[in-house]
């Protein structure tokens, strides 16, 4: 069931005869990038309990009708707080609302110009549209082929946890998932490590995921492997 905030965004989109894309899982996230060949992808992280979100996000929906909004080169989507770990496990989120400007066909990389591609939520929608127009003018056309990176069985991964102090369910969950992935052929190592500031930690290439975000990634890998095996069996 859609939250009150999501319902409000849909209502605003209808009022201004525009659209709103709400992402709720990783499949929709990947589809958002592969189906939209754009120069810039704008992803807005929001929460129903967040007062600024309720006032700011509708203006971002309206932004699509502004004369200075480069609609032919920009794709816009919204993600609510309770599904962020499923949609974008590595999201460098610090507060709500957060607006991320992402590169064409690079879902895990941000555009240059601000930390992690993050735009200050105090930036008015009209100024955001202006910023997007300026950025689009300096960017090349998007690639026709998707270059989204995928985690495969050959990707080197490491799970670190503190064996002396960390007995939380989130760590047990991660350890069980890693053992499952190892039986599936994934190149993943369990590394007991003392004096960790955050535990567990999943090192995935150049990325580091913590706690629930690490578990979301591990769960996704298991689901994708099982789905792939099921497809091979059916054929």
pLDDT for residue 146? 41
- Per DSSP, the three-state class of 22 is strand
pLDDT for residue 16? 92
- Per DSSP, the three-state class of 166 is coil
Domain spans, the chain: 4-137, 157-234
Under 8 Å between Cβ of 221 and 151: yes
What does the alpha-carbon distance between residue 142 and residue 178 come to, in Å, rounded to a whole number?
36
Q: What is the pTM of this model?
A: 0.60
Q: Give the rounded percent of residues in the chain with a pLDDT score beyond 70.
A: 80
Say if 4-137 and 157-234 have the same CATH topology: yes
Pick the CATH number of 157-234 from 3.40.30.10, 3.40.50.970, 3.40.980.10, 3.30.830.10: 3.40.30.10
Residue matched to tokens 């609609």: 71
Per CATH, which fold does 4-137 belong to?
Glutaredoxin (3.40.30)
Where b means 16+ CB within 10 Å and e means fewer, 213-222 reads: bbbbbbbbbb
| Positions of the chain with pLDDT under 70 | 1, 90, 92, 104-122, 140-152, 165-167, 206, 212-213, 231-235
pLDDT for residue 97? 85
């Amino acid at each position: 069931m859609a939250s009150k905030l999501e319902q409000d965004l849909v209502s605003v989109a209808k009022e201004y005869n525009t659209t709103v894309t709400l992402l709720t899982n990783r499949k929709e996230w990947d589809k958002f990038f592969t189906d939209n060949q754009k120069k810039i992808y704008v992803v807005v992280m929001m929460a129903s309990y967040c007062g600024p979100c309720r006032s700011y996000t509708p203006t971002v929906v309206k932004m699509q009708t502004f004369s200075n909004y480069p609609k032919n080169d920009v794709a816009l989507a919204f993600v609510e707080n309770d599904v962020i770990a499923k949609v974008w496990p590595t999201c460098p989120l610090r507060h709500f609302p957060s607006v991320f400007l992402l590169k064409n066909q690079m879902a895990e990389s941000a555009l240059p110009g601000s930390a992690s591609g993050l735009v200050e939520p105090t930036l008015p929608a009209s100024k955001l549209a202006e910023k997007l127009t300026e950025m689009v003018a300096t960017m090349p056309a998007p690639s026709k082929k998707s270059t989204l990176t995928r985690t495969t069985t050959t990707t080197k991964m490491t799970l670190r946890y503190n064996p002396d102090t960390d007995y939380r369910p989130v760590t047990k969950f991660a350890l069980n998932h890693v053992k499952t992935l190892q039986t599936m052929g994934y190149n993943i190592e369990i590394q007991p490590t003392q004096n960790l500031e955050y535990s567990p930690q999943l090192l995935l290439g150049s990325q580091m995921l913590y706690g629930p975000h690490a578990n979301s990634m591990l769960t996704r890998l298991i689901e994708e492997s099982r789905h792939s095996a099921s497809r091979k069996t059916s054929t």
